[in-house]
Chains A and B, each alone.
Chain A
Amino acid sequence: TQLLEQSPQFLSIQEGENLTVYCNSSSVFSSLQWYRQEPGEGPVLLVTVVTGGEVKKLKRLTFQFGDARKDSSLHITAAQPGDTGLYLCAIPLYGGATNKLIFGTGTLLAVQP
């Protein structure tokens, strides 16, 4: 059973379109992170959301943490080819000295010029 499910799995859109990526689980999280991984590179942290209902904006990207802290969404306005990449949500699992990140299933976005 996957702890974090992302949808859609794949998305191919034209430049200028809007899109939303979802990250869902049945568990409650203390916080959630979004990463973007461009082709040939490692993931880069975009944002961390901590409070239920929180909304954060990063230029054309809007991140929301669900009120119950079980889900999150990433909305991109007027997508550009530079937004192409693998989008990953992730949650920290705390276990004393064995903390680690659990990644979602990923959303692969292709923005066509």
Chain B
Amino acid sequence: DTEVTQTPKHLVMGMTNKKSLKCEQHMGHRAMYWYKQKAKKPPELMFVYSYEKLSINESVPSRFSPECPNSSLLNLHLHALQPEDSALYLCASSQEQSLPYEQYFGPGTRLTVT
């Protein structure tokens, strides 16, 4: 199983809402990532979890809160977002200790903030 799944596929939320994005992988990968991607642009790294611990936070605003409940699951909690946060949110995983560090991506959650 080389699949990374993400739910929901689409999400529309108001600026006062609280919602969560979910990601799951069953490849035994120990590194998981959240990316934000605007249309026609490359993905921008937000967070990296390595062995279920947050190892990279790319200066992401606190209205985005990641969580890694176990080695297979990754959540991104959203609160008080702004319209400019509308984007495709991608989850990815990789074998942390396996060079050359190839990543497997999920299909993404298309988020619209109204």
Task: Give A50 to B99 CA distance when docked, in angstroms.
Answer: 10
Task: Give A101 to B33 CA distance when docked, in angstroms.
Answer: 10
- Give the residue of B33, B42, B56, B107 whose beta carbon is less than 8 angstroms from that of A105: B42
Q: How large is the interface on A (under 10, 10 to 19, 20 to 34, 35 or more residues)?
A: 20 to 34
Instruction: Flag if A99 contacts B31 (CB, 8 Å).
Output: yes
Instruction: Flag if A50 contacts B105 (CB, 8 Å).
Output: no
- Give the residue of B41, B50, B92, B102 whose beta carbon is less than 8 angstroms from that of A42: B92
- Give the residue of B42, B102, B104 whose beta carbon is less than 8 angstroms from that of A48: B102
Q: A98 interface residue, CB < 8 Å from B?
A: yes
- Give the residue name and chain of the A residue nearest to B90 (CB): A42
Instruction: Flag if A43 contacts B45 (CB, 8 Å).
Output: no
Instruction: Flag if A99 contacts B90 (CB, 8 Å).
Output: no
Cβ distance A35 to chain B, nearest Cβ, rounded Å: 8
Instruction: Flag if B100 contacts A30 (CB, 8 Å).
Output: yes
List residues of chain B with CB within 8 A of the CB of A22: none
Cβ distance B47 to chain A, nearest Cβ, rounded Å: 10
Cβ distance B97 to chain A, nearest Cβ, rounded Å: 9
Instruction: Flag if A42 contacts B48 (CB, 8 Å).
Output: no
Instruction: Flag if B106 contacts A92 (CB, 8 Å).
Output: no
Instruction: Flag if A44 contacts B105 (CB, 8 Å).
Output: yes
A-B contact pairs, 7 of them (CB 8 A): A40-B107, A50-B100, A97-B55, A98-B48, A99-B31, A100-B56, A106-B42
